[in-house]
Amino acid sequence: MTPAEDMPPAGEPSTDVPSGADPQELIAAYVGTARWFGGKGRPFRVSGARRLGEVPGCVPGGPRVALDLVTVSYDDGGPDEYYQLPLAFYPDPEERLEHALVGLWTDDDYGTCYVYDAVHDREAMACWLRSFAEPPEGSLSFHRVPGHELDLETHSTLFSGEQSNSSVAFGEDSLLKVFRRITPGVNPDIAIHDVLTRAGSDHVAALYGWLECRALRREGDTGDAVLQLAMLQQFLRTATDGWELALASVRNLFGEGDLRADEVGGDFAGESARLGEALAEVHRSLAEHFGTEQRPQADVDRLADAMHRRLGEALPVVPDLEPYADDLRRAFDALRAIGGVAVQRVHGDLHLGQTLRTVRGWKIVDFEGEPAKPLAERVLPDSPWRDVAGMLRSFDYAPRVVERAWDDDQAGAVDQRAYRAAEWAQRNRDAFLEAYAGRELSEEEHALLAAYVADKAVYETVYETRNRPSWVGIPLEAVARIGVS
């Protein structure tokens, strides 16, 4: 393998000699089918790879574990992307890991080996845990946050549902999130969890540590770039996904005949209010520790311009937006009179699926921001009302998803469910917003929130059109309500 052109390796590059196949081709075949690969549907190739280092916690008889960073280049001319591939090297085949086989090749460091994706291997992941427990010196830096002693006797379990990263639980003690797509710089998920953990926040899973390395920049540049590769945090074993709780509440409502949303045992409004309070506390902590800025009207005008631009880009993709375009434009133009906006660090991609309900209350997770945005944009201060808008849209989605899956098309039943879905959504949006704000919103806040909600709904129509066309009616219904008093 050869290092990528624009980001040479932290140490010596790996120069594997293929055994029957080119290692980069084997890696490309594996990466192309991985859940976490973001380039599906685009022609690509692995144009380079580098060895970032070896995970040092290996034991006699166990695998050698190394972290490689592969460069993915696209034939359509888009920018290169970098993906982390933790690899476990075995001299003989491991049948238990056949599903995670990357390939067989000769590696400069380890010889001819069967190479597996290490997150699937308990022996390999134990090396990570031992390295966090006693951080060694080396090209890989294992950082620890004081206050928690790791359980080294437990074994790892890979979470199968993860999309953009790989999460591995160590028993009931801790959870390791391995970042797959890597961008040089400080990962906001680590930065925010570090600050909130040290501040004693009750609304995040405590950070136990993180892994990073430094990579030399291109020849002729000065300095190097930090690559943050993984974070180790508290495992919330009693947690229930907020999205699943909301869906269960809606199912309970639909199954209770003619009862109203506030009359059924599964009423969710109390949880929505507690979630609003939790978000308000997190926003206050972020403002205290990261600071706030007051942006002038010129910046707000640029925000409105960006919303207009996204609408213009969405209209050819979703022609059904056209009847509502004027109302959307008026919502965006209302920003031009608010006089400025306060910004701070925020979540950036908040919805019910980014929340967990535990016996100790609500936790908010995944502070990486919107994955499709460059890291430089994800770490920029933004208005807290963007997070609020994301939650309001999520409360609208939950009942509509259940409504579409409900198996009862008797006369009148469909209209009744639509009415009750709207009632559930409104009740929970109101409970959340009232608890979050704790007061009446100003006219400027109403305008800002309405614009963020509208912009989010436009984004959703494009996403659903491209990924789940049968769901596009959900955001279109929300767009149709814009401008209706």
Q: 148-205: per-residue pLDDT in tens?
A: 999 999 999 998 866 789 999 999 999 999 999 999 999 999 999 999 999 999 999 9
Judge if 192 and 229 occupy the same domain: yes
**What mean pLDDT comes out for the span 295-311?**
97
Whether residue 404 is contained in a domain is answered as: yes
User: What pLDDT score does 411 carry?
Assistant: 61
For residue 176, the model assigns a pLDDT of: 97
Percentage of the chain with pLDDT > 90?
Answer: 76
Domain endpoint, select from 234, 266, 288: 234
469 DSSP 8-state letter: G
Are 210 and 251 in a shared domain? no
In a shared domain, residues 217 and 110: yes
Please report which helix (H) or strand (E) contains residue 97, including its range.
none
Name the domain boundary from 186, 205, 234: 234
Same structural domain for residues 159 and 295? no
Torsion 243-244-249-250 (CA) sign: positive
Q: What angle do CA 279, 402, 349 make, to 5 degrees?
A: 30
Q: Is residue 5 part of a domain?
A: no
Which residues, listed in sequence order, are joined to residue 106 by a DSSP beta bridge? Answer: 17, 112
pLDDT at 13: 33
Number of domains in the chain: 2
Answer whether residue 9 is part of any domain.
Answer: no
Residue 9 has pLDDT above 60, yes or no: no
Residue 300 lies in a domain: yes
Q: How far apart are CA 381 and CA 283, in angstroms?
A: 12
Residue 8 lies in a domain: no
Please report the pLDDT score of residue 164 as a whole number: 86
| 123 and 264 belong to one structural domain | no
Instruction: Say which residue the tokens 């009740």 belong to.
Output: 427
In a domain, 10, yes or no: no
Domain boundary among 179, 205, 234: 234
Domain shared by 322 and 388, yes or no? yes
**pLDDT attached to residue 225:** 86
**At 261, which CATH number?**
3.90.1200.10
Pair 331, 399 in one domain: yes
Sheet holding 355-358, edge to edge: 240-241, 355-358, 361-364
In the prediction, which pLDDT does 479 show?
96
| Residue 84 falls inside a structural domain | yes
- Lowest model confidence (mean pLDDT) among 86-95, 155-164, 457-466: 155-164
Least confident of 157-166, 465-474, 475-484: 157-166
Measure the CA–CA gap between 409 and 106, rounded to whole angstroms: 61
Q: Which domain holds residue 413?
A: 240-481
Tell me the pLDDT band of 375, cut-offs 50, 70 and 90: confident
Which whole number is the average pLDDT over 206-231?
79
- Please check the confidence at residue 343 and state whether its pLDDT lies above 90: yes
Which residues lie across from 33 on neighbouring strands?
none
pLDDT for res 6: 39
Lowest mean pLDDT among 57-71, 206-220, 248-262, 463-477: 206-220
Alpha helices in 41-139 (DSSP H): 122-133
User: What would the pLDDT profile of 264-295 be if each residue is shown by its tens digit?
Assistant: 667 999 999 999 999 999 999 999 999 999 99
Same domain, 450 and 473: yes
For residues 130 and 261, membership in a common domain is answered with no
Confidence of residue 10 (pLDDT cuts 50, 70, 90): very low
Instruction: Look at residue 208 in the predicted model and tell me its pLDDT.
Output: 97
Phi, psi of 144 (to 5 degrees): -125, 145
Query: 436 pLDDT band (50/70/90 cuts)?
Result: very high
Based on the fold, state whether residues 410 and 444 are members of the same structural domain: yes
Residue 386 lies in a domain: yes
Q: Are residues 256 and 230 in the same domain?
A: no
pTM flag (> 0.85): yes
**Residue 256 sits in the same domain as residue 203:** no
